[in-house]
Structure 1
Amino acid sequence: MRGAVPDRARRPDVKLVLLGDMNVGKTSLLHRYMDKRFYHTISTVGGAFYLKQWGPYNISIWDTAGREQFHGLGSMYCRGATAVILTYDVTNRQSLAELEERFLSLTDTANDDCIYAVVGNKTDLTEPIAVRENYEVGCPIHTPNYACQLNSSASPTSCSPVAEREVQKEDAVALYQRILRHKAVDEHLSPPAERMCFETSAKTGANVDALFETLFDMVLPSILRKRSESKASSTIDLEDYGPVTSKPIKGGCC
């Protein structure tokens, strides 16, 4: 767990949870957004808690373990969630299937009006990457394709993708529509699939800020409603802080 339970002045207004199989990059996405850096991390053990101050509001973000032995903790972490990010690896079709087969049921403890985003990570692996050793050092504007653009003699092999894409955007859209049916939500009253299906790269940062900022904007009505209701009561709901543990939960990410 990152840091101690916040004091009352920083009580979370809403909870956002990341779910997905191991090695899809959940923690890397969170580090990219929170720290603006990419880390090579290890699999999360149990879960990890982050508190994001977004303007005058406080949003708790729970990063969960994808390993099957920690699967039982998932519904506990999802309890009271206002938004859930279901994450898969665009180069691994099974990671998309796992969202529906293993992780969707965990969200039954989330709020009735919970928002769901389906996120395909690791898009950088499907993009052409050149042999960059001669260009990266000292190049302040380097991008993954910069060397390929500069080196007109680069061979097709040197610019080939690292991995083949196994999941298309329409696959994620279809899953999102099945999620709405599973939750018995009227599709016409929900955000459109095109808005709730993202493709990101934690490594390059592509679309990561857009993902989190979009969700934060969408949960704002829940924040305002909850703050209004809390004015009538001074009771602290421990569920806002997630599971209670006597020891910090350490984790990196898959």
Structure 2
Amino acid sequence: MPEFSKMRKPDVKIVILGDMNVGKTSLLHRYTERKFKDTVSTVGGAFFLKQWGPYNISIWDTAGREQFHGLGSMYCRGAAAVILTYDLTNWHSLAELEERFLSLTDTANHDCIYAIVGNKADLTGNQAQQVAGQDGPTEDQGEGGGVNPPSACPTPPASPVLLSRVTLNKQVSREDAVSLYGRILRYKGMDESNCLPADKMCFETSAKTGYNVDALFETLFDMVLPSILRNRTEREQSPTVDLEDHKETGKRTRARCC
């Protein structure tokens, strides 16, 4: 197998769950491509690979529609973290996390990390409506240098402007999200005193403006590092045969015999 392919094997998996139209795919596009896209509903699931320092993290974007519901547990198998996403302007989308999606995480790792994420914050208040003048970095502000905002900040602009003045009623409060996080821990049989606190695991984001999106993903990446290191140690202690390498070796052997 080519060396590049070996380097790109994922070290750990993160899965995004949530009802349709809450903005799961848009969150991923905002983080990975630094821009907001009008997207169509995901069919089945989609796979993204993010390099985080020397590690490769796979992020699975799942479909929220009921006809694809059964696939969720398959995508969650072996997940180190799950992002449970809802729409801040839609109470039903929060209720659906507990009623429809939580049981899908039974196939995740026993020490899986859970983040509760309320998206579309730009529709509920002025703070999250502030955006940069462009969706993505310019030639002077590319990935290799220039003025990139600190990752822990909600993507503050150099010259903020406001989006539409139209706002919607915020139907889900932070207290609602914190309460759900506590119920998830109890459902999983976890001791809350030994788990990550709710104030670190409940986020409000805007895929449209980039508000808190970097903070969400990079916080989780830091938290799954122990899982990455454990997985690498287990692979080193229990090496497996690379079938691609074996196949190529077999081809070369047969060529010499002929």
Which bin holds the TM-score, normalised by the shorter protein?
0.7 to 0.9
Query: Shift of residue 10 of structure 1?
Result: 1.4
Q: Deviations over 1:162-212 (max 9, x none)?
A: 211100000000000000000000001100000000000000000000000
Query: Shift of residue 236 of structure 1?
Result: 6.9
Query: Shift of residue 234 of structure 1?
Result: 2.7
**Structure 1 Cα separation of the partners of residues 126 and 222 of structure 2:** 33
Q: Does structure 1 residue 193 correspond to structure 2 residue 198?
A: yes
Q: Deviations over 1:201-253 (max 9, x none)?
A: 0000000000000000000011111111111233279xxxxxxxxxxxxxxxx
User: Superposition RMSD on alpha carbons, in Å?
Assistant: 2.1
Q: Does structure 1 residue 60 correspond to structure 2 residue 58?
A: yes
**Correspondence 1:6-155 to 2 at 5 A:** 7-128=5-126, 141-144=159-162
Q: Deviations over 1:112-162 (max 9, x none)?
A: 000000000000011259xxxxxx89x9724226xxxxxxxxxxxx84x42
Query: Shift of residue 8 of structure 1?
Result: 2.5
Query: Match for 2:191: what amino acid?
Result: D
**Structure 2 Cα separation of the partners of residues 62 and 236 of structure 1:** 26
**Structure 2 Cα separation of the partners of residues 75 and 68 of structure 1:** 13
Query: Match for 1:144: what amino acid?
Result: L
The total of aligned residue pairs comes to 212
**Structure 2 Cα separation of the partners of residues 140 and 194 of structure 1:** 28
**Structure 1 Cα separation of the partners of residues 161 and 104 of structure 2:** 38
**Structure 1 Cα separation of the partners of residues 175 and 21 of structure 2:** 22
**Structure 2 Cα separation of the partners of residues 114 and 198 of structure 1:** 17
Structure 2 portions without partners, runs of 5+: 128-132, 135-156, 243-258
**Structure 2 Cα separation of the partners of residues 28 and 141 of structure 1:** 23
What TM-score, normalized by structure 2, do the two folds share? 0.78
**Structure 1 Cα separation of the partners of residues 125 and 172 of structure 2:** 14
Greater C-alpha Rg? 2
**RCO higher in 1 or 2 (8 Å CA, sep ≥ 6)?**
1
**Structure 2 Cα separation of the partners of residues 95 and 26 of structure 1:** 12
Residue 222 of structure 2 corresponds to 217
2:15 alignment partner, SS class: strand
Q: Deviations over 1:57-97 (max 9, x none)?
A: 00000000000000000000000000000000000000000
What TM-score, normalized by structure 1, do the two folds share? 0.79
Query: Match for 1:60: what amino acid?
Result: S
**Structure 1 Cα separation of the partners of residues 86 and 80 of structure 2:** 20
**Structure 1 Cα separation of the partners of residues 89 and 241 of structure 2:** 43
Query: Match for 1:182: what amino acid?
Result: Y
Percent identity over the alignment is 71
User: Among residues 142, 146, 169, which one is paired with 1:164 in the alignment?
Assistant: 169
